[in-house]
Chains A and B, each alone.
Chain A
Amino acid sequence: MENWFVNIAHALTNWLTGLGLSVGWADFILLVVQWVCIIIIVTLNVIVLIWLERKISGFIQQRLGPNRLGPFGMFQTIADAIKLLTKEDIIPSATDKLIFRTAPMFFIIISVMLYVVLPMGENMVIVDLNVGVFYFISVGSLTTICLLMAGWGSNNKWSLLGAMRSVAQMISYEIPLAFSLLGVIMIAGSMRLSDIVAAQSNVWFIVLQPVAFIVYFIAATAELNRGPFDMPEAEQELTAGAYTEYTGMRWALFFLAEYTNLVAVSALMSTLFLGGWQGPFLPSWLWIIIKTYLVMIVFMWLKWTFPRIRMDHLMSFSWKVLIPVTLANILLTGIVLQLFKGMGW
């Protein structure tokens, strides 16, 4: 069971080369197959996640979530997706057509691009870049542009306000995000994600870098526009903010992209801090699913408990609290590492 997917990939490659294709072509077709697999994973994840979020928010509020369609309401998301697909596509006439239409597309493309470097099990990385973490952070920060496009293209004051806020928020939280991961990279010694997983074979990095974990958690919540940091789409204050003018499938794409981003960030967190795919008894790809979902449940738990943070508090928190903390963390990690090296460990 452990090597199912690896064996399938080898079998496919062998069959393709057996058909007479060169190795380059076989690899290319394998890449296409892997890309299709990512799309399937993303879709399945989103379907399960939307259901999970509604159920968890219901249980926290002492009510049942969706429970009519299918056992435990599992088909609710499919019904919602069908509804959104059949909705009228309203585009206000005064919008900037190109920017308005392409914003959701870019968002989902960028979110899917993040899955390329994630190890989904032992030997199951699509492209094992030696700058994996760096690639992840830099591609993830491109989502800011998409939100700005959505807000500006809508030609609506509320959307523009939402977009401006999101830009300010995301820029503020990029730095703690990156700095908190520096400690992990320093201990592991490389930015390649499979090396980082291998470096956690004795002890998980959450034990060695608890502060970094918490800071990364907070910064990731801000990057995802979720939970206490959901200013840009604050329902009660901005009436859906940057997404106000989007209807039907376009809005669904935004939603999809946000959840995709959430899964990717949670998977990264479980890779960097929780030991990745390592674990006893169960196959590695199952372990990473379990850890990712645990992290996502914590994200949801935070979202449904806390009120929203005000814009200036948000930024002052990032610049005045999180950055000094992460800098101190890096300093401390560096000192301890040198000490250990000096002592010959």
Chain B
Amino acid sequence: MKGKGLLEGLWITLRHLFEREITIQYPEQMPYLQERFRGCLQFDYKKCIVCGLCTKACPNNVLSYESQPVPNSKKKLLLSYTIDLQYCMFCNLCVEACPTGTLYFNHDFELSEYQRDDIKIVYEIPRSAQAVISEPADSPIEMVDSSAEPAPQPDEDEAKKQKQINAMITALKKNPVKAVSKLVESEAQAQILADILQADEKKLVRMATMMIEDREKAGKVALAFVNKELKDRQQEGGAGNEPE
């Protein structure tokens, strides 16, 4: 029959007239997003090791950061991280380039803003939470407040470093409790550490050097000294100051 195709088409549309609709009512119902959906670029500052691979991988100069090198070390401190989302292609090259998994995409696709300046996502890393090396996220290292001790100078000049070490030695000798108070957890521990350092010149010099060069190691070593001393005292008598 000549008009058969027409009738078949009519039958198909008639069938669909009585079927359920497949559209969803956005925004009351959200669409189902697959796991790897690329929504908005997120940055987890605790994992960043400031290697710069993400900025090199990005085709569009979306990512930028400010950093401060730590003296006497190849590591860097991250001060701020900017994601300029208006230029982002959501191509995933930065996420793949990052060695620690700092960058990732979440499922947020409603990214419109009213002002153009709001599209830039700027992460200002607070001074108290800047990680010097990559640590698991649950143990951030506390950074010493720079006003409490002679500020570490950014340049790596040997003479300057020596000067700092000498200054630290002097500080340790003059007012040991105050100088080591930030390395340990309590007053009593600070007292114990101060006694140890006063007793041993070599240890004092070593501690001063470590405090200038490698803060975290100094802290660990300080704790080790204190604990050893406490154990010795316990083994010796048991009587005496029990630290809290």
Contact = CB atoms under 8 A, between A and B. Distances in A.
A294 to B, nearest CB: 14
Given A62-B22, A64-B23, A306 B17 contact: no
Interface of A: 56, 58-64, 67, 301-302, 304-306
A301 B22 contact: no
B13 A60 contact: yes
B3 to A, nearest CB: 10
A62 B14 contact: no
User: Interface residues of B: mostly helix, strand, loop or mixed?
Assistant: helix
Contacts of B16: 59-62
Q: Top 7 A-B pairs ranked by shortest CB distance? A: A63-B23, A305-B13, A60-B13, A59-B17, A305-B9, A62-B22, A64-B21
Interface of B: 6, 9-10, 12-14, 16-19, 21-23, 25
Nearest to B15: A60
Nearest to B18: A59
A68 to B, nearest CB: 9
17 contacts: A58-B21, A59-B17, A59-B21, A60-B13, A60-B17, A61-B16, A62-B21, A62-B22, A67-B25, A301-B13, A301-B14, A301-B17, A304-B13, A305-B9, A305-B12, A306-B6, A306-B9
A295 to B, nearest CB: 15
A145 B11 CA distance: 37
A251 to B, nearest CB: 28
A221 to B, nearest CB: 13
A304 B9 CA distance: 10
B25 to A, nearest CB: 8
Q: Which of A60, A63, A64 has the most CB of B within 10 A?
A: A60
Contacts of B17: 56, 59-60, 301
A58 B19 CA distance: 11
Given A58-B21, A59-B16, A302-B10, 7 more contacts: A62-B16, A62-B19, A67-B25, A301-B17, A305-B12, A305-B13, A306-B6
A333 B16 CA distance: 38
A222 to B, nearest CB: 16
Contacts of B25: 67
A306 B11 CA distance: 12
Nearest to A67: B25
B214 to A, nearest CB: 64
